[in-house]
Amino acid sequence: MTISVNLNNLCLGFAGLGLIGGSIAKTVKRISPSTRIIAYNRTHSVLEAARAEGIIDVVCNEINDNFKECDYIFLCMPVDYNSTYLDLISKHMKKNCIITDVGSVKTSIHETVIKLGLEDNFIGGHPMAGSEKTGYEAATDRLLENAYYLITPSATVSKTAIDNFYQFAKEIGTIPLILDYKKHDYYVSAISHAPHVIAASLVHLVKDSDNDEQIMKTIAAGGFKDTTRISASSPVMWQQICMNNSENVCKVLDRYIDVLKNAKTIFETKDADKIYDFFDEAREYRSTLGQQRQNTHESYSLYCDIADETGAIAIFATLLAANQISIKNIGIIHNREFEQGVLHVEFYNSSEYTKALTLLTDKGYSIIKHS
**Which contacts qualify for 179-183: CB closer than 8 Å, 24 or more apart?**
179/150, 179/151, 179/152, 180/152, 181/106, 181/107, 181/110, 181/124, 181/152, 182/106, 182/107
- Using CA atoms, how far apart are residues 6 and 35, in angstroms rounded to an integer? 9
Percent of the chain with pLDDT over 90: 67
Q: What is the mean pLDDT of residues 270-288?
A: 92
- Using CA atoms, how far apart are residues 367 and 304, in angstroms rounded to an integer? 5
How far are the Cα atoms of 19, 131, 208, 214 from residue 211, in angstroms, in the given order? Answer: 38, 32, 8, 5
Name the pairing type of β-strands 72-75 and 11-15. parallel
So what's the pLDDT on residue 306? 78
So what's the pLDDT on residue 303? 84
Reply yes or no on whether the pLDDT at 342 is more than 80: no
So what's the pLDDT on residue 1? 38
Strand order in the sheet with 123-127: 123-127, 148-153, 175-178
So what's the pLDDT on residue 273? 96
Q: Please enumerate in sequence order all residues whose Cβ is within 8 A of that of 204, keeping only pairs 6 or more positions apart, or say none.
A: none
So what's the pLDDT on residue 145? 84
- Using CA atoms, how far apart are residues 174 and 267, in angstroms rounded to an integer? 43
- Using CA atoms, how far apart are residues 275 and 298, in angstroms rounded to an integer? 37
DSSP letter, residue 54: T
- Using CA atoms, how far apart are residues 215 and 219, in angstroms rounded to an integer? 6
- Using CA atoms, how far apart are residues 79 and 157, in angstroms rounded to an integer? 22
Strand order in the sheet with 366-370: 327-333, 342-347, 301-305, 366-370
- Using CA atoms, how far apart are residues 230 and 228, in angstroms rounded to an integer? 6
Reply yes or no on whether the pLDDT at 371 is more than 70: no
- Using CA atoms, how far apart are residues 174 and 167, in angstroms rounded to an integer? 10
**Contact assessment for residue 66 and residue 47, using Cβ atoms and an 8 Å cutoff:** no
Q: What is the mean pLDDT of residues 310-336?
A: 82
Reply yes or no on whether the pLDDT at 343 is more than 70: yes
**Contact assessment for residue 296 and residue 148, using Cβ atoms and an 8 Å cutoff:** no
Q: Please enumerate in sequence order all residues whose Cβ is within 8 A of that of 56, keeping only pairs 6 or more positions apart, or say none.
A: 14, 17, 25, 37, 38, 39, 47, 50
Q: What angle, 0 to 180 degrees and rounded to 10, lies between the N-to-C axes of helices 194-209 and 246-268?
A: 50
So what's the pLDDT on residue 336? 38
Percent of the chain with pLDDT over 70: 92
In this predicted structure, which of 157-161, 217-221, 233-237, 350-354 has the lowest mean pLDDT?
A: 233-237
Domains of the chain in start order, with CATH, are 7-179 (3.40.50.720), 184-287 (1.10.3660.10), 298-370 (3.30.70.260)
So what's the pLDDT on residue 347? 87
Q: What is the mean pLDDT of residues 330-345?
A: 61
- Determine the residue type at 3: I
How far are the Cα atoms of 86, 116, 141, 346 from residue 83, in angstroms, in the given order? Answer: 5, 9, 29, 40
So what's the pLDDT on residue 256? 97
β-bridge partners, 38: 13, 58
Strands annotated E in the chain:
11-15, 36-40, 58-60, 72-75, 98-101, 123-127, 148-153, 175-178, 301-305, 327-333, 342-347, 366-370
| C-alpha atoms less than 13 angstroms from C-alpha of 228 in its C-beta half-sphere | 15
Other beta carbons less than 10 A from residue 321's beta carbon:
11
Per-residue pLDDT band at 195 (split at 50, 70, 90) = very high
Per-residue pLDDT band at 260 (split at 50, 70, 90) = very high
Q: What is the mean pLDDT of residues 122-148?
A: 88
β-bridge partners, 367: 304
Reply yes or no on whether the pLDDT at 210 is more than 70: yes
